[in-house]
């Protein structure tokens, strides 16, 4: 927030782009709130291109180790 103020960036010029995963969506909502931007406006956008990986809803919010071990078990 301090850098935005120092650089005199207007709130209407801010864009929040995030992956569609729940944890990044939650973070984007917090960022929008702190910046005073409506999360449901055109200034916030989920972008599929930012997904790191997607193994389906069963693996959402699991650590890398848990996903890796689950995939190893499933491959046998």
Q: What is the pLDDT of residues 11-20, one digit of tens each?
A: 889 999 999 9
Mean pLDDT computed over 24-30: 97
Q: What integer pLDDT is reported at residue 73 of this predicted model?
A: 58
User: How many H-runs (helices) and E-runs (strands) does the chain carry?
Assistant: 3, 2
Percent of the chain topping pLDDT 90:
50
Backbone angles phi, psi at 21, to 5 degrees: -70, 150
Give pLDDT tens digits for 52-67: 766 677 777 777 777 7
């Amino acid at each position: 927030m301090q850098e935005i103020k120092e650089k005199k960036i207007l709130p209407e010029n801010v864009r929040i782009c995030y992956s569609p995963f729940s944890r990044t969506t939650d973070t984007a909502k917090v960022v929008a709130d702190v910046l005073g931007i409506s999360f449901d406006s055109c200034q916030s956008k989920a972008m599929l291109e930012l997904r790191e990986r997607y193994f389906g809803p069963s693996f959402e919010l699991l650590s890398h180790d848990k996903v890796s071990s689950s995939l190893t078990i499933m491959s046998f």
